Amino acid sequence: MLFRKAFRWYLKRAIVLASDWTVVPIRNQEVTPCFIAGCGHSGTTLVASKLGQHPAIFTIRRESQIFYPNKSLLHPKGIVKEWIYISKQDQKICFVEKTPKHIHCLNRIRRLLPESKLILITRNPMDTIASLYLRFNDLSLSIERWNLDNEALLNWKEKPNTHLIYFEELIAEPERVFRDALTFLGLDWHSEVLEGGQSVYETHIAVENMKIRAQQVKKKIYKPESKWPELFSKEQQNRMIQETAAISERLGYLVF
């Protein structure tokens, strides 16, 4: 029974992967597709929400998850075409979509949209793991997710049309970081991106976690307080440092 289930799963995946290569890529010079990804709780919602306040950007108001590998690229192709159509109708020249776990789907995104731009977000492991832990109450899971997601990010950070944002720099110098991001997208600077106010995610909130994020990103950018020194014992802190050290160093996080 288990063998048959496993066989069916692998057969389905093989069909999906094979069909991906039959899909004709979308090439569009009028609307720039931009996808934001990275480990959850690293600032992806903050960046997408603030960029969504730019007058030339159409922001997808939910985590679409359309590039997850359970369906052929024919599925996201139809959706992306609709996003491009809506962007044109609204006189926008860029659309932005944010799904953190798309960090593991970037090859599929580029297969369908070779000219797409990727904004990847990273944050130091201690603060990210603490935030993940408060959500999932599982330290091992939180450490594993940070490692897996940021290892995937490292594989892409030097590739063309890819822009990396460090959460710490975003908090310290928000105007510079957003100016750089808009330049990367080929857009002019607009101070609206740094203003507080309604988040684009408030009008389409499906899960409790996004309700919290939508309220947080409405505010002007501020430096959040580190929770890990009080949240974890010294033994747990040492474990977090040791188990994330290899990837942390590659990202430039050398001291906590």
Residue 166: give its domain's CATH number. 3.40.50.300
pTM: 0.87
Interatomic CA distance for residues 191 and 116, integer angstroms: 25
Q: Tell whether 156 is covered by a domain.
A: yes
Query: Residue 10 is encoded by which pair of tokens?
Result: 């692998």
Residues in CB range of 246: below 8 A, 6 or more apart? none
Q: Tell whether 58 is covered by a domain.
A: yes
CB 112 within 8 A of CB 51: no
Q: Tell whether 52 is covered by a domain.
A: yes
Q: Tell me: the pLDDT tens digits for 27-78?
A: 977 999 999 999 999 999 999 999 999 999 999 999 999 999 999 999 999 9
Angle at 135 (CA atoms; ends 133, 137), nearest 5 degrees: 50
**Phi, psi of 164, rounded to the nearest 5 degrees:** -100, 130
Query: Structural domain tally of the chain?
Result: 1
Q: Tell whether 238 is covered by a domain.
A: yes
CB atoms near residue 95 (< 10 Å): 21
- What share of the chain has pLDDT > 90, as a percent? 76
Residues in CB range of 65: below 8 A, 6 or more apart? 99, 101, 102
Q: Tell me: the pLDDT tens digits for 76-133?
A: 999 999 999 999 999 999 999 999 999 999 999 999 999 999 999 999 999 999 999 9
Q: Tell whether 10 is covered by a domain.
A: no
Interatomic CA distance for residues 98 and 37, integer angstroms: 6
Q: Tell whether 163 is covered by a domain.
A: yes
Q: Please indicate whether residue 245 or residue 216 has the higher confidence score (pLDDT).
A: 245
Q: Tell whether 112 is covered by a domain.
A: yes
Burial of 88 (0-12, 13-18, 19+ CB in 10 A): middle
What is the mean pLDDT of the segment spanning 156-163?
96
Burial of 98 (0-12, 13-18, 19+ CB in 10 A): buried
Domain region containing 47: 27-251
| Cα 234 off chain centre by | 31
